[in-house]
Structure 1
């Protein structure tokens, strides 16, 4: 296989029905574009889902941080650049850069991915796949100047502020609740009046366990500073005790 460039660049459109009241792209749809870019990049280079599914493996998102100066507006065409800057036995680190046609940088993203066996759901050695092919595409020099996803710390668990059921449209190709659906559910914890005053500067999410259709998701919220919030999501069902599935951190800034 011919070796491609280490950095992939993919064209997207901020479709109007993917935009919010302010005429800007929803954070959840931006998250989908980032994950699509990651999928395109890894598939083109031979270690993506298209190959992994033939050997009963898949990629799962472990952590994601998105930090934006501005969101694309409706009908804006923009690019997502993506590259892997580190590969270890059980995790890879992948970066994103969101830019427009003129080179204006909307923002950046950083993510951590694991590879799992589809039957056992346990991590597998990434460096054993195709003799460590991913190592040929490590790019350490290209700039991604945001902080890596952090460990979100929360205090003693209180009562959930919201609990929701999960359904068909929450489930992705891996059979569990879609990574971006958690983001959308978290952002719904604030109402429209809040978003008229505040912009999401940075969003972080760390995935702890899988949840599935039929699980109830419970949301716990803590406020660290005036516009910094942490969220814990747990799952509960008739067969198991309540279990944490992910944690988030959000930084809001005042709109101009």
Structure 2
């Protein structure tokens, strides 16, 4: 199988209702597009969520790191490429490239996914369902020149914000949607910061599921002038996610 068949490419337009006050595509919308592309790519190759659901499995996002040098502006066309970099017994690495209308890369993303049992919510062996077929789509030689998500540690402190999860936070798996966390985290920063700086890199690692009615506490620690580590704890104790936000 050649590299073209291993890489999926999907076209988009930055709709005016998907951009922020400065006319740039929001990170939350970009995150949704990345996840949708992952779904399209997997489905086209026989290991999409519909096939998994028939066997009582589903895909869940474990880690995501996005690094952008620019963002599409309102009404601009752009595209996203995605490919599988590695497949392990319990996880798979999937990468992305974001291209502007001229086909020039303006950002990249790295993600880690797990296939879990819908009954036990525990990771399942990818090879039990897919055999070796899924490995035929590995495209290890296509570059993704950004670092993987790193370690995030936030010291004990008072939360800078609390949020009660609501109807609009819950996805079809019955837990808080992955992208909703991104939106809530970026809302921790004042509008003035987004006027003066641009969001360069966003990392998130998912540790535990949150559900309707959970109270999320957001803990933030500034690591440098433009870098912040954030931990989201549910109901005052268990860590739900860890995140890093880098401006420039």
Contact 2:76 2:101 (C-alpha < 8 Å) held by counterparts: no
CA gap 1:4/1:224 in 2 versus in 1, 3 angstroms: closer
Any residues of structure 2 matched to 1:17-32 within 5 Å, and which? 17-32=17-32
Give the structure 2 partner of residue 86 of structure 1. 86
Contact 2:98 2:106 (C-alpha < 8 Å) held by counterparts: yes
Give the structure 1 partner of residue 205 of structure 2. 206
Report the count of equivalent residues. 246
CA distance in 1, matches of 2:102, 2:222: 38
2:25 is the alignment partner of 1:11: no
Any residues of structure 2 matched to 1:125-136 within 5 Å, and which? 125-136=125-136
Task: Provide TM-score, normalisation by structure 2.
Answer: 0.97
CA distance in 1, matches of 2:127, 2:87: 8
2:57 is the alignment partner of 1:57: yes
Contact 1:47 1:133 (C-alpha < 8 Å) held by counterparts: no
Cα deviation digits, residues 161-193 of structure 1 (max 9, x gap): 100111111011211100000000000001111
Cα deviation digits, residues 90-144 of structure 1 (max 9, x gap): 1100000000231121100000001100010000001222223210100011111
Name stretches of at least 5 consecutive residues in structure 2 with no aligned partner.
none
Contact 1:4 1:45 (C-alpha < 8 Å) held by counterparts: no
2:241 is the alignment partner of 1:246: yes
Q: CA deviation at 1:4?
A: 7.9
2:147 is the alignment partner of 1:110: no
Any residues of structure 2 matched to 1:183-198 within 5 Å, and which? 183-198=182-197
Structure 1 consecutive aligned stretches of length 4 or more whose deviation exceeds 4 Å: none
Name stretches of at least 5 consecutive residues in structure 1 with no aligned partner.
none
Secondary structure of 1:211's aligned partner? coil
Task: Provide TM-score, normalisation by structure 1.
Answer: 0.94
Secondary structure of 1:213's aligned partner? coil
CA distance in 1, matches of 2:24, 2:244: 21
